[in-house]
Chain A
Amino acid sequence: MAANPVKQAIVRACTDAAYRARLLSDPRKALAEEGIEVPADIEVRVHENTDNKIVAVLPGPQAAELRERTKQLPSGPVVDVPSGLGLEWQQTALIATGRIDTNTAPALRRELLRAFTDVDLVLSGVTFLSSPGLAALLAGQKHLATYDSHLRLCDVPVEIRNVLEMVGFLDLFEIVNRSSLDDPYVAALMAMPFH
């Protein structure tokens, strides 16, 4: 699954001057180029900073919705997990450590099915992932899709990434490095004033 199309459009506008001009003059049409269909009753306004003006946005209902959905999530280490795997909720991130195998995959699945919002599953500490684990990821993704949400896989070790690639899962999940989220985007944000 490709990265967030809204983010992609913004990153593209940082390097592609022609696209930037289209995005500024006709946001709806330019966003459609990146596969984003803006609902008819929504207006998108695109701004850029100038030499003497800085523009910043406060997320509105999006932030409120995110907060509400995050509140419904559990918090802290998950107690009821078979030995071999550790799971901990940190806001919308679920940190996994250890082995995701026949024994432990049901606990991962159970935790993912508790969520109703976008979840970042952090896999940096995972050393083993087999078929039942893959099934749990898939179940989580399907469950979240019914809430217009995604399961995103973060900080995936190369061995685990190879497994995902071989079974064709790379198309089903967005995979990001959480510390840098999405490098070109963060690089662009860093270039903004205040940072």
Chain B
Amino acid sequence: MAESVSFFGSVRRFFRDYLLVMETRGSFGQLVQQATEDAALRQRLLQSPKQVLAEAGITLPEGIEVEILENTDKVIHLVLPPLVESGEAEGGQ
């Protein structure tokens, strides 16, 4: 089936899997899930991420900054997980 890959379809499917994975991955994943439905939470999460995380019981070591970005119609953000040395990729858990 020779078909061209649609950018939007690929991005939508990527974030579907991202949300599927997040759903099973504890408090931060649940917060991201909630923020896709709850506009007020979304705004607060974007504006004062650390405070909202703290309210959800997610505390971070001092000195770690958090930046939450949001995709729009025109801008797609992708975050790269850490670079793994070859041979380590299988043992990420």
A contact residues vs B (CB 8 Å cutoff): 1, 4-7, 10, 13-15, 17, 20, 23-24, 27, 35-39, 41-49, 52-67, 92, 118, 141, 145, 148-150, 171-172, 181-195
Contact = CB atoms under 8 A, between A and B. Distances in A.
A189 B42 CA distance: 22
A63 B32 CA distance: 11
Given A62-B12, A148-B8, A181-B17, A56 B79 contact: yes
Contact of A192 (B70, B73, B81): B81
Interface string B39-78: 0001001100000000000101001111111111111111
Interface of B: 1, 3-21, 25-29, 32, 35-37, 42, 45-46, 58, 60, 63-84, 86, 89-93
Contact of B10 (A20, A36, A61, A185): A36
B15 A181 contact: no
A10 B78 CA distance: 8
B71 A57 contact: yes
Contact of A39 (B7, B18, B71): B7
A171 B63 CA distance: 48
A92 B89 contact: no
Given A4-B13, A47-B77, A49-B79, A188 B36 contact: no
A193 B79 CA distance: 12
Given A23-B80, A47-B78, A60-B72, A187 B92 contact: yes
17 contacts: A6-B14, A13-B83, A14-B81, A15-B89, A37-B5, A42-B74, A46-B77, A47-B79, A48-B82, A58-B69, A60-B70, A62-B71, A145-B1, A181-B17, A185-B21, A190-B25, A194-B28
Shortest Cβ-Cβ A-B pairs, 5 listed = A187-B92, A60-B71, A188-B81, A194-B28, A59-B15
Nearest to B16: A66
Contact of B5 (A5, A54, A149, A195): A5
B64 A10 contact: no
B69 A195 contact: no
Given A56-B79, A92-B16, 18 more contacts: A13-B80, A20-B83, A27-B78, A41-B74, A46-B78, A47-B69, A57-B71, A61-B72, A62-B15, A63-B15, A63-B36, A118-B16, A141-B1, A148-B8, A181-B17, A185-B21, A191-B92, A192-B81
